[in-house]
Amino acid sequence: MALGIIIGGVLISVMILVYSAMPDYFWLLAWGIVVFFSVIMAFFYSTLIVPLFNKQKPLPDGELKSAIESFSQRVGFKVNGIYVMDGSKRSTKANAYFTGLGKKKRIVLYDTLLEQLTIEETVAVLAHEIGHYKHRHIFIQSSLSMLANLLVFYLLGVCLQYDFIAQAVGCSSASFHINFMVFMMMYSPLNILTGMLENAVSRRCERQADAFVRQNNLGPQLISALKKISAQALDNLTPHPLFVFVNYTHPTLYQRVKALTD
Ligand SMILES: [Zn+2]
């Protein structure tokens, strides 16, 4: 919460300043600030923010490290650093991800993942992450969310101009603060729609990353890994298809196992 107040407070103060200085171009400038901020965060997230909450240690030499390195070499992926994070501190959920851009790029494995999975299964999970990288999914998904943000800021810019929006909630004339609050209320339904689109794109990316694992003959290992992870996370095995369509960023376990075996 403290981080949210500090970072969010600074961001919103900057936006109010921009709005008072250049109300006509506010939407474009505010969007530019958010894009700039996101890129900075992507660079420093793993080195500045994560260490506040978790410890990350380099993966020690051994069977797992050699298995990861030989797989990465085989598929032509350059590993800049493999770290283990003490995810068990707060949760039993297992995960692995890439973080950072360019030279700051690193693989982070949760200790919970290493406890639950065999070496081959861990390599299969990493192969899935490398699949995302190979298909440039991070770039595609960030571009899409930046476009969605541009739409939001444009609508906010329009919304900030009108007195009648402030009057609808009992104020006399438009101001940044009141129009912003009304905008947030009106925006929620639209957010569900853009969220659905982003989730559909995300599920497609997940299918491609799984297909990459399959091409590299690690399908069975990924299936057993996914089963263990889903069991540990108490995932719903039979969610309603409509619920999946609206909320899921990944295909269901059943769909993924099916695609990996058919
Ligand atoms: Zn994925």
The domains of the chain are located at: 2-261
Query: What's the DSSP call for residue 160?
Result: T
- The string of pLDDT tens digits covering residues 70-94 is 998 899 888 778 889 988 887 777 7
Instruction: Determine the distance separating the centroid of ligand 1 and the alpha carbon of 123, expressed in angstroms.
Output: 14
User: Among residues 63, 210, 235, 262, which one is catalytic?
Assistant: 210
CB count within 10 Å of CB 152 equals 19
Residues in the chain, pLDDT under 50: none
- pLDDT tens across 28-77, in order? 999 999 999 988 887 787 778 888 888 889 999 999 999 998 998 899 88
Whether 69 is catalytic = no
What are the C-alpha distances in Å from 234 to residues 111, 212, 229, 230? 18, 26, 9, 6
Q: How far is the CA of 29 from the centre of ligand 1 (A)?
A: 32
Burial environment of residue 24 by CB neighbours within 10 A (0 to 12, 13 to 18, 19 or more): exposed
| Catalytic hit among 24, 63, 120, 129 | 129
